[in-house]
Amino acid sequence: MASLLQRTSTSAVSVVPPSIRHHNLTLLLWKSSARSSSSSSLHKNTPTSNDTMARLQPLSNRRRRRESRRHFQTQADFQQWRRNVRDSALSFRPQKEVEQIRMEPLDLPTAAPFLQSVAPMADQLLLAGVKDATPSSPRDSLLECTYPLESNDILRYSVTDFSDWSAFRLGKFYELVDALTADVAYRHVASSSSGNGKEEVALVTAGHYHSRKYTRTDLNKDATLRSYVTKVGRSSLEVRTDGWQDDDKLINVCHTIMVALDSQTMKPLSRVGKALPPLIIETDDDRQRMQLADQHQQIRLDRSKNAMQLRNKVSVPPTFDEMQELHAIH
């Protein structure tokens, strides 16, 4: 530990905020603890006693509360965000906007080429959307992919997680989300009237954020993933994907950020004097989803400010000896 402190020069201390230095050390200690506990558990065959579980439960609850409040002021703010995300979903529930859309079956290889290229059983999936529309609103660019789990045993077995933790394999869910959001984003980009078509814009997935699971998936019922645009900036857009069952049971929610690059210079559109086609806001739900997207953007900015500066010269990874000292301290 002394060597770790000695390597932190006076100038480095003045540059790196205390919160970042504390976050770095806390993260290292947390990883150290996780590795120590996992390795030690491999050599213990005796079940955990009730007393030990009683001591660990409060720690688990505190950790869960701390995790849920990472980017919110209070637990109540986090719960309110969850409710807002759930209530603003673009769904078929009564009084909602999708019920007035003419959803028609689409040819999957044509309408969703990214999904066709990554899904091993794409020919077993059902795709729906608005035909011959100029995507400008969340409903126009929407794509809906259905897993017919109730009638297709092979497809159901391919997505089944046989552990006790989850029913539907989350890896399959994110695989579909990653491809479907790209197809939806390109549908919206194709609506540009200023010439920024698919041939001029390259879309890159920046990341999947603010993903939450609301309800356990029933593998004996069909599952539908509905993906649509929630906010569009000059060179980025947020695409939301909802998992549904029974048309009124929200299962999963995931938000994806896509960045639009000029295909010639591979720079963001905002840096080359171009912009994505705007999103037309028509309903109160559209406005609420846009407000949530603004909140998500602010959370990402705050997270970036407090993240570990691994590429900064003042932030140096610990050596092997320093990691051993951290293990010993814990």
Average pLDDT over residues 307-327: 75
Task: Indicate the average pLDDT of the chain.
Answer: 77
Token look-up 């993906």 returns: 227
Task: Output the pLDDT for position 112.
Answer: 93
Who has greater pLDDT, 9 or 75? 75
Phi-psi region of 95 (alpha: psi -120 to 50; beta: other; left: phi over 0): left
Using DSSP's 3-state secondary structure scheme, residue 237 falls into strand
Q: Give me the torsion for CA of 135, 140, 143, 148, rounded to 10°.
A: -150
Q: Kindly state the average pLDDT of the residues 59-84.
A: 71
Using the predicted structure, report yes or no on whether residue 55 has a pLDDT greater than 50.
no
**For residue range 79-137, what is the model confidence (pLDDT) as tens digits?**
999 999 999 998 755 445 544 567 889 999 999 999 999 888 889 999 999 887 777 88
CA distance 138 to 79: 25
pLDDT of residue 50 exceeding 70, the answer is no
| Model pLDDT, residue 258 | 95
Residue 201 has pLDDT above 60, yes or no: yes
What confidence tier does 167 reach under pLDDT thresholds 50, 70, 90? confident
